[in-house]
Amino acid sequence: MKVLRVIAGALLAFSILFTALLGAKKIPEKSLDIKTPEYKGVLSLWQIDSFASGKGSVKRFLLEVARDFEKSNPGVLVMVTEHSVSGAKESMLSGSVPDIVVFGRATDPAGFTELGVKNAFRGGKVGDKTFAARWAGGGYALISSRGASAADKKISELVVSGGDTAPLAAFALTGYTAEKVTEYKPSAARAEFIKKGGFLVGTQSDVVKLEIYGADFSVEWLTGYNDLYRYVAVTSADENKNYFSQKFVECLLSEKSQLKLDKIAMFSENYRTKAESENFIKLGEVNFDKTISAFLAEDLLAEIKELSEAAATGDDAALKKLKNVLI
């Protein structure tokens, strides 16, 4: 049946501004190997949210990492600023550009500096070069009320916690279908699930909220697809700032920083983080199959969402095409 739309998420689209403001200033490759410079100053870091982590504050987490970094690099300060997508656009239009950007998804790596990160996640690569490093991950879950049954992975009615991502891709690529799909804003989706029970496709944020509410439910992490990743990229064209910005990336990816990701209910790629909830212990053990590029163009993301909606209601041709456009 046709997917019902209750809301339509706003897509993350700030690449054109990065291209215009940063593309012409791209740092030369030779500057990546410069000796340790003596620098006293401030690095600007923008944290741009495209999805909710689940608990805590991503900005507060980044500030904590920044303080650790500053202790190891005397005289270098990191100023963390939280931006919405629209706020970041406005700031860039006024000529303000950060040295480091933390984001969920962009659409073009223009203006980003190649990172010297080993074994980097494929989502942050363009060809064999890495322009964004994944530093935290979430996941999609099929949340069901006690007693709800999905025989042969077929569901009659499904509620979706919507947003700027593609939760139905995870649902369809894990082998599920639904006769009727209704998408709500996250808070409304949770309210609908608590009221009526049944099945909800949500994120780790929805799982956290439902645990806080004391709801009685079970969780299956959907392994077929995941785009709920946080990336970090370096945008500074100044050699000294670029050097220390790359060092900050190393600090963010370090074991010390990664082991604290439980504070924002996200998992680490390389380290087993602490988790109080059994659901989140399981999330840290999941290997997800498909994803999208951190630099996916908006029109392709829109196509993925459309294919996902069709595949979720049993369109085999859409499912096959969806598999082919993901990485």
pLDDT tens-digit map of 16-32: 444 445 554 444 444 44
Q: Mean pLDDT throughout 308-321?
A: 98
pLDDT band at 92 (very low <50, low <70, confident <90, very high): confident
Q: Mean pLDDT throughout 132-153?
A: 95
In order of 7, 33, 251, 258, the CA distances from 239 in angstroms are: 44, 10, 19, 27
Q: Own/partner pairs for 312-317, CB < 8 Å, 24+ apart?
A: 312/3, 312/158, 312/168, 312/171, 312/172, 312/176, 312/177, 312/178, 312/181, 313/1, 313/2, 313/3, 313/177, 313/178, 313/179, 313/180, 313/181, 314/177
pLDDT tens-digit map of 167-178: 999 999 999 999
pLDDT tens-digit map of 151-166: 999 999 999 999 889 9
pLDDT band at 131 (very low <50, low <70, confident <90, very high): very high
Q: What is the pLDDT of residue 36?
A: 60
Which structural domains are found in the chain, ordered by start?
15-137+228-283 (3.40.190.10), 139-226+298-325 (3.40.190)
7 or 316, which is more confident: 316
Chain mean pLDDT for the chain: 88
Asked whether the beta carbons of 10 and 316 are under 8 A apart, the reply is no
The highest-confidence range among 29-38, 295-304, 312-321, by mean pLDDT, is 312-321
Q: What is the pLDDT of residue 31?
A: 44
% of residues, the chain, pLDDT over 90:
69
Instruction: Provide the whole-model pTM.
Output: 0.86
Q: What is the pLDDT of residue 196?
A: 96
**Residue 129 confidence (pLDDT) above 90:** yes
Can you read off the two tokens belonging to residue 94? 């006024």
- 170: amino acid identity, one letter: A
50 or 268, which is more confident: 268
pLDDT tens-digit map of 242-285: 999 999 999 999 999 999 999 999 999 889 887 778 898 899 89
Asked whether the beta carbons of 4 and 181 are under 8 A apart, the reply is yes
pLDDT tens-digit map of 211-222: 999 999 999 999
Angle in degrees, 0-180, between the axes of helices 298-312 and 316-325, rounded to the nearest 10: 150
**Residue 10 confidence (pLDDT) above 60:** no
